[in-house]
Amino acid sequence: MSKYFLSKKIYIPVGIVLFIILSYFISGSFLSYNKPINSSYLLLEDWASYAVAEDAQNYFVENNIDSIFIIGMKYPDSTVSLQELNTARKLKKRENTYSMYWSGILGFEISSEKLKDPSVLSIKMRGSIGDNTYPHYNIYANKTLIGSGFVNEKDSVYKFNISNKIDDPLSHVLIYFDNDHLTSTGDRNLYVSERYIDSINIDSIATDNFFIIKAEPFNFKFISNLRSVKCYLNDLGIDSARVRLVETPYCPINKTLAMAKGAKEYFNKTDIQNLNIITATEHSSRTYLNFKNCLQENMEVGCIPSEKSIQNKKSFYSGIDERISLTLTWMYWWFN
């Protein structure tokens, strides 16, 4: 005899219920949550991709947003962003050399207080050939392009004049590798081994460093930290005065929940009564659940899944971590 369970006097075969639950879990449709509200404020997490940041900029302009908040953790080590990328094997540093295996930007945040009238930037680079072409680089001081060209297979020092090219104190040095290519005949990579401003080693004065990795058009990986997100939003045309940074205590476990708790502490000190969160589509349900439960006493929270991130449809297996994380988040708030 088949086993049944009773729900409001309606007998439903256990097998059908399990099939529905399993299908729902596999589909991943519950990962996305779309519930925007009428608000003049927007919240963006610091691990956002370029695609999500661009959606945030579009929403900011189209809806006449007053301010956008970027929330992120205060890491105990100023170079933790780079260390995490090393762990993920997205960027490797061996014998003082950064190996750029993908098109992207290797950036250094510079403390202007440690420099007096910087004049010459020196970078030692080399590259591997791919499809008969060597790596191409663009060097930026802050937002100003100060040099570009191709490297060759030999380690060579390239010098770039900084003086009289930037108006503001030097805050960033960016090395942009823009023509990664892989064929059966070669893999085009850029290797950066030495970095000096005049006679000062950049590593000794950099307050942070990061690697922005470009996978394909409109689909970038993590920008790395909240200040980098702010710089990118500023490049997109958003006035930096309308971008506010919310730094929360570092927590290596369940970072979304930790940032939501940090947001509660921050916004409880303001008069803001509502805001929308914009985040990656597959992450939106978990983000909304954590922030809504943490902020609901004093704020109304809306959620906007990024449209561009939908282009990155994940298979069931590649998205299993989000499914498990969301299930655990449901369980956490069920008992709290």
Is 10 among the domain residues? no
Beta bridge partners of 72: 247
Strands 274-279 and 41-45 come out as parallel
CATH of the domain at 128: 2.60.120.260
Q: What is the pLDDT of residue 154?
A: 94
Cβ neighbour number for residue 240 with a 10 Å cutoff: 10
Q: What is the pLDDT of residue 43?
A: 95
Residues 55, 166 within the same domain: no
Residues 48, 69 within the same domain: yes
What does the alpha-carbon distance between residue 72 and residue 100 come to, in Å, rounded to a whole number? 26
Residues 147, 239 within the same domain: no
Residues 235, 319 within the same domain: yes
Residues 175, 48 within the same domain: no
Is 58 among the domain residues? yes
84 to 154, 174, 277: CA distances (angstroms):
29, 19, 25
Q: Is 45 helix (H, G, I), strand (E, B) or coil?
A: strand
- Which of 220, 254, 273 terminates a domain? The answer is 220
Dihedral sign for Cα 16, 22, 24, 30, please: positive
Residues 89, 199 within the same domain: yes
* Domain residue limits at 249: 31-75+226-334
Q: Are 159 and 171 in contact (CB under 8 A)?
A: no
Is 19 among the domain residues? no
Global pTM? 0.55
Q: Give every CB contact of residue 46 below 8 A, 6+ residues apart in sequence.
A: 70, 71, 72, 73, 223, 225, 226, 229
Is 26 among the domain residues? no
- Which of 220, 244, 279 terminates a domain? The answer is 220
Residue that has been written with the tokens 């943490």 in this structure:
294
Task: Name the CA dihedral angle for 233, 234, 240, 244, rounded to a multiple of 10 degrees.
Answer: 20
What does the alpha-carbon distance between residue 141 and residue 84 come to, in Å, rounded to a whole number? 25
Is 232 among the domain residues? yes
Residues 56, 134 within the same domain: no
105 to 173, 175, 211: CA distances (angstroms):
10, 5, 6
Cβ neighbour number for residue 220 with a 10 Å cutoff: 22
Is 6 among the domain residues? no
Domain count, the chain: 2
What φ, ψ does residue 99 adopt, rounded to 5°?
-100, 115
Residues 71, 87 within the same domain: no
Residues 109, 214 within the same domain: yes
Is 13 among the domain residues? no
Is 97 among the domain residues? yes
Residue-level pLDDT, tens digit, the chain, 336 residues:
444 444 444 545 655 555 555 554 444 455 678 999 999 999 998 777 767 888 899 999 999 999 999 998 876 543 333 333 333 333 445 667 888 877 878 888 887 677 778 889 999 999 999 888 999 999 988 878 899 999 999 999 999 999 888 888 888 888 988 888 877 777 898 999 999 999 899 888 877 666 666 533 323 333 445 666 777 787 778 888 899 989 888 787 888 899 999 999 999 999 999 999 999 888 888 899 999 999 988 899 999 998 755 444 444 444 566 777 777 888 888 888
Residues 231, 330 within the same domain: yes
What does the alpha-carbon distance between residue 26 and residue 306 come to, in Å, rounded to a whole number? 21
- Amino acid type, 240: S
Residues 59, 175 within the same domain: no
- Which of 188, 220, 252 terminates a domain? The answer is 220
